[in-house]
Amino acid sequence: MTHLRFFFVMTLALSAPAVATAQAVDPESSFNAGLNHLREGRPAMAVEAFRKAVREDGKNPYFHKGLGQAYLATGKFDDAVNSFRKALELNQYYVDVRNDLGTALVLSGRRNEGKNEFLTAFNDPTNPTPEISSRNLGNAYLEEKAYPEAINWYRTSLNRNHGYPDAYLGLADALIASGKLDDAVATLETAAKECPQSAGVLLNLGEAYSRLGRLGEARTRLEEARRRDPVGAVGRRAAQLLQQFPSK
């Protein structure tokens, strides 16, 4: 299948904390600058901005999470681990950070530690997004070619959120890797109904149809994906695949 998503999706929607005005001006400004740099693809500048926020207020877990995200984006996985652990030390109930910490641990090669963080997050009753934690476990097992475990965790993710496209895409990948192309197509067809706005789902469904020789349906889905994301990576990949089809 086409892999156009990151192995783990980094959460950039960090919630800015409410801080007294007298203390907030400088650290909040640095924090927001870091967020903007991350969103606009300047991770090195984000690191510097978040470092400044941490220097100005080292007891704010949001700032440490932001710094960890920036370290992840620059490939400094051990530094990211330390930042996320500091955020958890400051606020043990900040469950979302466990997904970030698990990601950093997996990417640094400490896969079992990372999976344990995902599992801890999934089992926490206060976790607002258990579908992400279980999807992350699915991704980890898929990378390890433990396909039955991956399939199980992707399905768990979908049981928590039927409208989560990343879990459908991961499940389809695991099914294809297991030699179950028909099941993968059925999964992606369900995804197209549940997540009709997802260009990634349309792209992968079009590619799966192509593998089965269902070229007319493949073309339709790929054209839809291109329309949904005309200038992004998904749209470019769809256009590339469409060039391989015979002219109408």
Domain of 171: which CATH number? 1.25.40.10
**Which residue segment(s) compose the domain that 142 sits in?**
130-186
Residue 203 lies in a domain: yes
Angle ∠(234,75,13) on CA atoms, nearest 5 = 60
Distance, C-alpha 178 to centroid of its chain: 23
Predicted pLDDT of residue 246: 77
Q: CB-based contacts of 129: which residues, under 8 Å, 6+ apart?
A: 96, 99
Predicted pLDDT of residue 16: 47
Instruction: Give the H/E segment covering residue 211.
Output: helix 199-211
Residue 135 lies in a domain: yes
Residue 8 lies in a domain: no
Residue 234 lies in a domain: yes
Predicted pLDDT of residue 245: 83
pTM for the full model? Answer: 0.85
Domain count, the chain: 2
Q: Among the three residues 167, 186, 205, which one is the final residue of a domain in this structure?
A: 186
Residue 81 lies in a domain: no
Residue 213 lies in a domain: yes
Q: Cα separation of 178 and 77, whole Å?
A: 31
Predicted pLDDT of residue 248: 62
Q: Cα separation of 204 and 187, whole Å?
A: 11
Q: Is the dihedral of CA 216, 218, 219, 221 positive or negative?
A: positive
Q: What is the mean pLDDT of each run of 10 residues along the chain (248 residues)?
A: 42 46 68 95 96 95 97 97 97 94 97 98 95 98 98 98 98 97 97 96 97 95 96 95 82
Burial status of residue 98 (CB atoms within 10 A of its CB: 0-12, 13-18, 19 or more): buried
Q: Read off the tokens for 122.
A: 């999934």
Predicted pLDDT of residue 18: 47
Phi, psi of 224 (to 5 degrees): -65, -45
Residue 227 lies in a domain: yes
The DSSP letter of residue 70 is H
Residue 151 lies in a domain: yes
By the 8 A CB rule, do 170 and 154 touch?
Answer: yes
Closest Cα to residue 159, out of 187, 134, 184, 186?
134
Q: Could you tell me the end-to-end alpha-carbon distance of the chain, in angstroms, rounded to an integer?
A: 25
